[in-house]
Chains A and B, each alone.
Chain A
Amino acid sequence: MTSPSPPTSREAPASPADAASRERLLQVRTPPVPGAPVRLAMIGNPNTGKTTLFNRLCGVRARTANFPGSTVDARLGTCRLGARAFELIDLPGSYGLDLDLPESRLCRDCLAGRLEGFRPDAVLAVLDATNLPRNLQFLASAARPDLPMVVALNMIDVAARRGLSIDAAKLEARIGSPVVPISARSGEGVESLLSAVDRAKPPEHPCPDQPGRSDACADWASRMVAESVGGTESAGSPVDSVRDRLDRAFTHPILGLLVFAAMMLGLFVAIFSLASVPMDLIDLIFAELGGLARGVLPPGPIADLVSDGVIGGIAGTVVFLPQIALLFFLLSLLEDTGYLARAAFVMDRLMCRVGLPGQAFIPLLSSHACALPGIMSTRLIPDRHDRLATILVAPFMSCSARLPVYVLLTTLLFPHSPLAAGLALAGCYLLGAVAGLSTAWLVRRTLLRGRSRPMVLELPPYRLPSIRTALLATHDRSMVFLRNAGTVILSICVVMWWLSAYPVAATPPEAEALRGQATAIEASSSPEEAALLLAEAEAIEQRAQQAQSFAGRLGRLMQPAFAPLGFDSNLTVAVLTSFLAREVFVSTMGVLTGAEDPGETEGVVDAVKQATRADGTPTFTPATSTALLVFFVLAMQCLPTLAVTRRETGSWRWAGLQLAWMTTIAYAAAFIAREAMLAAGWT
């Protein structure tokens, strides 16, 4: 492989006319360390099959990498050909390296050797053989005189089926770098491609960086095509006719919306129905692991930490993995068919009214299942401002973890009217969506002001999706999620657990008495009654622990701040502890109010109805319940979501803003709701 000498930067030498210097650049490169892998940077237009080729070469030996200062990511992977090892970076698809877009900047930085941790030895340019004029124009603009290149002429089989014949040898002679026809889908030519890396040479540099470069690159590409491509692809063929009809249907203002609604309905029904079984299984496995840890470790703080803090903390997050994996698998399939690009246009008509692009609809819809995959799927959105705005508002969408809280509170508010309770439940979802879209409208006119990238999308041909590509994408996204769960989220969970578990409260005398009674009754063969007494004793102990813990003390300390919303100290503790995960609220209320089975909503409803404040008045008046419901609809009560926001935005600043804004909005709206209820006489 030819390569430059190892300068600190890949900028062109100061005297390009110097023949000796140029000759040195073209020397065959030997890896600096024998056996060291050859580092290849993969570039290409979107939809050229670049990622399919990367997946074929690297399979699961790949990971997503973020680079400082970049809002787009790339994938790193390794592969071998015989004894030769390769390290590849799959850079994001780009239409031109000289564009002022995040993906173009990342490609530029990588080729210039400015990416931390990956300095390429050569470029692997992936071209779509069915669309050579534009792809060669891209290649011309990406050519660097100091970086060897190999050209993969992908989809050569599709080009042949369309009647195109491409003279690869002629193209190679004119470009100056090896050109290898391949089919990434079938694997044809892939080994030859890796073998050709040894022959890699810097390509011709047909369009120097000067005014009119774009036209020069286009002219060069046209000449290359004219000289090396034969055959014609007839316009107006039956395939085009079908494609035209499908495009018209999928982007139609009404029919397109109906198709999109049906697709999304199918997607979410599949996610909810298929994910429930593995989610239950994960719950069961972690419960068993927790029990096992308690059985193996001696009783004490270490056993508590491992069982409740570490295992419990991981379980609370990993339980969402099936939903996340399914969502990304199905989205990847849909994207591969070419449908999602059409759907983005349908939704753009609606979303642009609040300053969001059409691509934002899927992340927002996904957030109704769980904000974690919703935020992660904002990677579909190319514009940084659009993406940040979508991430900021995604947690306003009512996720499935809020549902138990909604059910509890709407049942309390309307105990004898299922219709009114149902309408209130629907209102919760509507309120969340309205708050999210209003926030998007606001941030796009203030913090994230500026023109969005114009809605211009390439509409790829319709094709059968690749299961392998979808599986690899799912594996990749799942690993990102698990790494996050195993680091940031786990650390936060352990801290929250410690706050609620320490200091350990002494067993209350009434709990000890109940345990004594249970032992006596069990001895006189009444195990059911004994079990009830034990459960009651455990609830008393948990209440004492909640009250004595640091979290409990914090709750009492914070109670005056929540007093305007009508929350007493118990409610304040429940709200604060549910910051770990919203669904914890129901079980915490169960514990605090002494429900027989705090895990079941029905039991908790009965218990909280009877709950009273220190002065004997009911805790859950209609006004307080309404304020609490509004607070839960709008508040950012989810630590894992905050951690994922930090990861996806690359900064705690956006996560902090999200937390502050949502909490402020929730508090203000809850206060207004309570005052309105009080003014209307609903005390």
Chain B
Amino acid sequence: MTLPLPASDRLPLSVLRPGDRAVVDLGALPPEEARLLEAMGLRSQCEVRVCRSGSPCIIEVAQTRLGLAASVACRIFATPCGAACPAVTDPRAGDPPVAS
């Protein structure tokens, strides 16, 4: 299988280290796998935190923790962002809290 070459600032998710934060791109995945991951909460341009690298690669996206086989993680490309992460997946950051 030939994997698309990542852009210079992008790395396969599988090589990031625990604690790293990154914005991911699912463009290299087959559509069916990408749809499943999107339904599970992992969408392109969302920020993730790596909890465990290698196989399985464990990531946290919003309040969900996902385990990904190495064959999947190596086809998800990620742009490390560290403290500069835009936190695009945390919609609560926008509006002030409303008490119930």
B92 nearest in chain A by CB position = A229
Cα distance, A165 to B96, chains bound together (Å)? 11
> In whole angstroms, what is the CA distance A342 to B51 when docked?
13
Complex contacts, B96 vs chain A, CB 8 Å: 230
DSSP class of B's interface residues: helix, strand, loop or mixed? mixed
Known contacts A455-B56, A456-B40, A167 near B100 by CB under 8 Å: yes
Say whether A454 contacts B92, CB under 8 Å: no
- Whether B4 sits at the interface, judged by CB under 8 Å, is no
Docked-complex contact B98 and A100, CB < 8 angstroms? no
Contacts of A227 in B (CB 8 A): 95, 98
Interface string of B56-100 (1 = CB under 8 A from A): 101010111111110110000000000000000101101111111
Q: Are B63 and A138 in contact (CB under 8 A)?
A: no
Residues of B within 8 A of A460 (CB): 65
Cα separation A349 to B40 with both chains bound (whole Å): 23
Stretch binding the partner chain, chosen from A231-239, A463-471, A585-593, A608-616: A231-239
Partner of A134, one of B18, B36, B40: B40
Cβ contacts A156-180/B at 8 Å (1 or 0 each): 0000000001111110000000000
Contact among A244, A248, A458, A461 for B40, CB-based, below 8 A: A458
Q: A100-B32, A341-B67 are in contact. Are A226 and B38 (CB under 8 A)?
A: no
How many A residues touch B, CB cutoff 8 Å? 55
Contact for A230 among B37, B62, B66, B98, CB less than 8 A = B98
- Cα-based distance from A453 to B51 in the complex (angstroms): 23
A95 to chain B, nearest CB (A): 4
A95: contacting residue among B36, B72, B99, CB under 8 A: B36
Contact A131 B36 (CB under 8 A): no
> Are B56's CB and A168's CB within 8 A?
no
A548 within 8 A of B: no
Q: Flag whether A420 is at the interface (Cβ < 8 A).
A: no
A51 to chain B, nearest CB (A): 19
Shortest CB-to-CB span from A662 to chain B, Å, is 31
Partner of B58, one of A98, A134, A229, A459: A459
Q: Is the CB of A455 within 8 A of B92?
A: no
Q: Which among A130, A181, A223, A458 has the highest number of chain B CB atoms within 10 Å?
A: A458
Q: Is B41 an interface residue (CB 8 A)?
A: yes
Q: Which residues from A are CB-within-8-Å of B36?
A: 95-96, 99, 101, 453-454, 456
Q: A597 near B: Cβ within 8 Å?
A: no
B56 to chain A, nearest CB (A): 4
Lowest 5 CB-CB distances: which A-B pairs, in order? A230-B97, A96-B39, A455-B69, A95-B39, A134-B41
Which B residues are closer than 8 A to A by beta carbons?
18, 32-33, 35-41, 43, 49, 51-52, 55-56, 58, 60, 62-69, 71-72, 89, 91-92, 94-100
Given contact pairs A133-B91, A134-B40, A134-B64, a sample of 16 additional A-B residue pairs in the complex whose CB atoms are under 8 Å apart? A131-B63, A134-B62, A165-B97, A166-B100, A218-B38, A226-B94, A228-B98, A230-B92, A243-B51, A251-B52, A345-B55, A453-B36, A454-B36, A455-B67, A458-B40, A461-B65
A-B contact pairs, 19 of them (CB 8 A): A95-B39, A133-B41, A133-B63, A167-B99, A214-B35, A218-B43, A222-B91, A227-B98, A228-B98, A229-B92, A229-B97, A251-B52, A341-B67, A342-B67, A454-B68, A455-B69, A455-B72, A456-B66, A459-B66
